[in-house]
Structure 1
């Protein structure tokens, strides 16, 4: 009863505030800023902030600015030109983020949605009545792209350009755009306040903007009092709106990181100590819950694990600036970055397991690729003195400089790089496995999603990808996860990209592994069991199952075994347990540029860019028929590409097992019938030797019943879908 009353009080209070503020908007005021902080005038406020040196993040801007700037130009000449080029575009009133345009006629369109091409009417944020259970037909408004503009991460470019050049015109543009935005959006009004996460991301950006711009007289004289008041009002809005009620996720982490940064950087605010105490209280609890013992994120998503890594990098810097030193952020950061290193390709590309959107805690490097984690690995190597993270980063990164200046680059250079001691690793808590033979020799790399699809509390950012895998050959992607594409612009496309049919798994009777919905982030729970994991000098083995089809009237239990041999071949064996007749579909989503073809022996040849390839051959004498179909791939949020997706389908009585071998082919290498037979026999011997406790297969084993041809009618009703 007490919980209900507390919730009712919160709702009534928020509704009353929304009604009051929709009638009387709260707008920042430079004079109020001075008086609220105990200064007699705005001039006194400016003088105070000009004199004080501490507290400070990125203190190189005060200690060794010119020396560090020279180091940046020497180390990253192309990046310096890119930053100034992007800042010049902002000075012209041009904003383009992830190839979406947010400007027209030299002015930023703060209310414009680039997907639906709509101008969003301004109202108090609570009255938008936005709900993830809404219908979202094709072409719907996508707030993710609006949120990206209102994080103000792009405005940090103006502060960076000022640091690199000392030119006040960048500060003039920054002052103009911040002032325009402040007057466009009273506190609590418009899409910038629709979700509290966006407020937190913007406050992080404003803290960074302040550090980069505070040495400018034009920023101090023309902008600082209004900036301070607007920042304080947003921080108060954030504090009142923390996402601490109900299931929690990366939202509340971001909110508390932002609140702590504001409290540390601006201790003059009367509420600063209260904000810091609340942020630390929540962070202690949430970091323990959201970062699992194996270093992965509890959200079942590599994209949001990357986001958490960025938050932890900020927390390490907060810890450096804080006198409390109360959070164990270093071990958390090391675990999260180490697991991302294992799950990523040799080029630092992170597979898109689960949702990958545009969420970032900061954006200081010039690249926009959300899947490239090398910037974060470099920052972690410098912060933690970690040799394996430096090995993964390959070289120093811009982010290291922007947080630590020339000293950070020197610290990175002094770390001795070497790969992790183990090439393969299972992450049982997060539900991922990375199979590779060597870090130094880029042979085959297999990453398997072997966990559930929901986070504690239900829903989240997982997809129907239990036992799905991605594959690299020689550092080149071959089999991929399709990614996310969209959240809100289309419910239909949202569900297509997170569906079973969009992943490299066995689909039974056309059914989803887990039920999708009712909302865009809801999905039913699926249990999994990891039966075996072994790493030795000859092979790496993985063996797991899931319960997604146990709900059928005739329950079905898919089990997947994988063996990566030291000869650089991969064996995949699927054992489908159950009773009765069922339709089984296997799909293999090829990376862009990979072209499949069927050989004379009925096996599959994947032609890779550059001329080499992969041979996929059945280890049974009777082969299903390959269908050279197509699928979808999203290289980044909001974009989709058609890709090849070879498929085969079997209508059979259960139980059944089917095994595939995947063998790399050199450029121009041809495989005739005799060679195929030899490879198949060798792989069968290896398979029987590597997986304990399962029935061996032989070269003469046939598939039960018959393969189902592509043009054959499929009548699947009544099978418990």
Structure 2
């Protein structure tokens, strides 16, 4: 274990959490050699567990969705699997799934420890030579079985059934309890359980007796694991919801289990509680990321839908939280149903066709509208997804919201309207760094803002790139310099102390907001107060043909070197002329940025992790993109930057 990481992690814990972690470690050690065999678990029966109503919903799918399911299944049955921007090596599954597929990192080509290693002895957080554990975990989620199972339910394709049984047999044989990387993290177990329940619901008694027993054994062992090692305290974020969703659905679909009623009651209560904690009062996800908000909402939505289908619905507060999230998404979604990326996004999905999905928040939002029986607000995706069949997603795009909307709890101010007769979207971030004490998926982006004109990205968030194996690149993509805000003295507003941790967090707040002919927002953050004695204030005012940004550093100390950054979209071209930067897309002038005249301007493209100039539109990938940097060691009392839209 990395000592520095451990010290920083301990600093983010309360004494109660440290005591709880010690107990957790004792439980982990006690499991070794005692719980790591299939014969320690009783599958209690041989029936195929079914999610209520799922098969009927799938069978009523529209022709376009049926075709999408067929194409996705045929791709997987041909031996192709892609995720997180990477394609796994093809193999002939009819000869059996190779043992090595469960340990492979498709990027490095190396293999993680397998069944010969106790899962909790594998230091995946610091084993960068192997690669990023997320890639191997992605295959262990068994989500590639979902479209194949749906295809079987709709077509009775025999190859699909044989494929499913071969995959489950292989996973069962090579991943016994608590052995290998498939058992490290509760969120992985929760997602895998949902995939197996989906398969079982689609295929039912057509699965062989042996496969049904294996599914039940895996589900029972997963339930025991998740109940034994729940995420708590600073880790009680989307991981907790994933675990409780897995527990809830297993208990709902397997009521014959001895503790099913108790598990259902407890996990249901936690889901109801966490819905109000992790979807804030204005609909923003507590993790500060629209995609992580969608991930959380999809878990809740699946549980709420299945519970309703079973005649034992969750509390009405869950539906209300889902509605809040859907309405937030409608305000930050573009006409093509894409959503600006903000903070982390690891492309996690719950119900999926196992293919790249570029409109995830809007897709979950459309599913929420359908589940609630309401007309959509804003854009919905044109391309169908598997979740559309489960929730009867809304397919009709509504008119886009217009005007100003402040999401005060989540910390976003949004303007949608005309600038120089062009449709503009402005998103101003004045919210918290992230959720709970570690703010795991937040970025140091206080007072950053995004700009889209005619639905084309201009000023953007840099994205995520990598998690555990990211190293200095992980730090860059989370750091202040990569975002559209100010950095002082070469320091971040919030101080990184690990890939998912912070030692110091900036506090941001909205001071005032004005509607009317020229909407304006004023906010501040204290990230530089301790070290430099300065508070950063920023106002954004939307004018008829431009946006005026005014930055002030409030305090009685002279500012150090100030760096103002603006990250452009990869397709943009930037040219400096005097104190202005001219931005074009496909030879069309789209923006002129006039900076204060007492600084130095530079455009950086595709440099190292100390200068940036990159945007990551998908996990694990990055592409060069112009980063505009204005620096000065003589910051004025008020620095005005004008963004003219021709």
Give TM-score, length-normalised by structure 2: 0.88
What SS is found at the alignment partner of 1:103? coil
Cα-to-partner distance string for 1:276-298 (whole Å, 9 max, x where unaligned): 02202322332222221111122
* One of 442, 445, 450 as aligned partner of 1:462: 442
How many Å separate the matches in 1 of 2:51 and 2:456? 46
* One of 619, 628, 652 as aligned partner of 2:634: 652
Cα-to-partner distance string for 1:269-328 (whole Å, 9 max, x where unaligned): 222112102202322332222221111122222231121121122132133134433422
Change (3 A) 1:275 1:438: farther
Equivalent residue number for residue 362 of structure 1: 351
Report how far residue 96 of structure 1 moved: 2.6
- Does 2:382 correspond to 1:403? no
* One of 94, 102, 110 as aligned partner of 1:110: 102
How many Å separate the matches in 2 of 1:3 and 1:592? 43
* One of 191, 196, 200 as aligned partner of 1:201: 191
Equivalent residue number for residue 113 of structure 2: 121
Equivalent residue number for residue 581 of structure 2: 604
Contact 1:459 1:523 in 2 (8 A): no
How many Å separate the matches in 2 of 1:118 and 1:396? 35
Equivalent residue number for residue 515 of structure 2: 535
Contact 2:569 2:625 in 1 (8 A): yes
* One of 611, 624, 634 as aligned partner of 1:642: 624
How many Å separate the matches in 1 of 2:142 and 2:587? 40
- Does 2:546 correspond to 1:560? no
Counterparts of residues 375-524 of structure 1 (less than 5 Å): 375-389=363-377, 391-393=378-380, 395=382, 397-399=384-386, 401-404=388-391, 408=392, 412=394, 417-420=398-401, 423-437=403-417, 443-518=423-498, 520-524=500-504
- Does 2:34 correspond to 1:20? yes
How many Å separate the matches in 1 of 2:397 and 2:233? 45
How many Å separate the matches in 2 of 1:416 and 1:351? 18
Report how far residue 347 of structure 1 moved: 2.2
Counterparts of residues 29-44 of structure 1 (less than 5 Å): 33=43, 36-37=44-45
How many Å separate the matches in 2 of 1:478 and 1:3? 43
Report how far residue 26 of structure 1 moved: 2.6
How many Å separate the matches in 1 of 2:266 and 2:241? 12
How many Å separate the matches in 2 of 1:528 and 1:257? 32
How many Å separate the matches in 2 of 1:120 and 1:429? 41
- Does 2:86 correspond to 1:100? yes
How many Å separate the matches in 2 of 1:602 and 1:549? 27
Cα-to-partner distance string for 1:143-189 (whole Å, 9 max, x where unaligned): 11111111111111211221332211101110011111111000121
Equivalent residue number for residue 338 of structure 2: 349
Cα-to-partner distance string for 1:339-397 (whole Å, 9 max, x where unaligned): 12212333222222111113222214x641355433223212211233343x3216583
Counterparts of residues 311-350 of structure 1 (less than 5 Å): 311-327=299-315, 328-350=317-339
How many Å separate the matches in 2 of 1:370 and 1:558? 34
Contact 1:539 1:563 in 2 (8 A): yes
Equivalent residue number for residue 288 of structure 2: 300
> How many equivalent residue pairs?
614
How many Å separate the matches in 2 of 1:384 and 1:144? 33
How many Å separate the matches in 2 of 1:277 and 1:646? 53
How many Å separate the matches in 1 of 2:397 and 2:357? 27
- Does 2:567 correspond to 1:589? yes
Change (3 A) 1:399 1:533: farther
Deviation larger for 250-259 or 80-89: 80-89
What SS is found at the alignment partner of 2:446? coil
* One of 525, 528, 534 as aligned partner of 1:549: 528
Equivalent residue number for residue 260 of structure 1: 248
What SS is found at the alignment partner of 2:403? coil
Change (3 A) 1:607 1:418: closer
Change (3 A) 1:315 1:17: same
Equivalent residue number for residue 9 of structure 2: none
How many Å separate the matches in 2 of 1:368 and 1:549? 39
Equivalent residue number for residue 6 of structure 2: none
Contact 2:103 2:112 in 1 (8 A): yes
How many Å separate the matches in 2 of 1:442 and 1:170? 49
How many Å separate the matches in 1 of 2:321 and 2:598? 48
What SS is found at the alignment partner of 2:530? coil
Contact 1:387 1:418 in 2 (8 A): no
Equivalent residue number for residue 162 of structure 2: 172
Gaps of 5+ in 2: 1-14, 606-612
Cα-to-partner distance string for 1:497-554 (whole Å, 9 max, x where unaligned): 1111111111111111111104543342211231111222x122111011011012x4
How many Å separate the matches in 1 of 2:417 and 2:20? 56
What SS is found at the alignment partner of 1:373? helix
Contact 2:506 2:525 in 1 (8 A): yes
- Does 2:223 correspond to 1:231? no
How many Å separate the matches in 2 of 1:246 and 1:498? 19
Cα-to-partner distance string for 1:614-635 (whole Å, 9 max, x where unaligned): 11124x6x46442122211111
What SS is found at the alignment partner of 2:529? coil
Equivalent residue number for residue 284 of structure 1: 272
Report how far residue 465 of structure 1 moved: 0.4
What SS is found at the alignment partner of 2:504? coil
- Does 2:219 correspond to 1:244? no
Report how far residue 193 of structure 1 moved: 0.7
What SS is found at the alignment partner of 2:134? helix
Question: Relative contact order, CA 8 A, sep 6+: which one is greater?
Answer: 2
RMSD across aligned C-alpha pairs, in angstroms? 2.8
What SS is found at the alignment partner of 2:509? strand
What SS is found at the alignment partner of 2:328? helix
Report how far residue 557 of structure 1 moved: 1.6
How many Å separate the matches in 2 of 1:581 and 1:470? 25
Report how far residue 227 of structure 1 moved: 1.9
How many Å separate the matches in 1 of 2:23 and 2:443? 36
What SS is found at the alignment partner of 2:550? strand
How many Å separate the matches in 1 of 2:234 and 2:583? 47
Change (3 A) 1:270 1:521: same
* One of 127, 138, 157 as aligned partner of 2:147: 157
Report how far residue 245 of structure 1 moved: 5.1
Contact 1:550 1:557 in 2 (8 A): yes
How many Å separate the matches in 2 of 1:78 and 1:661? 49
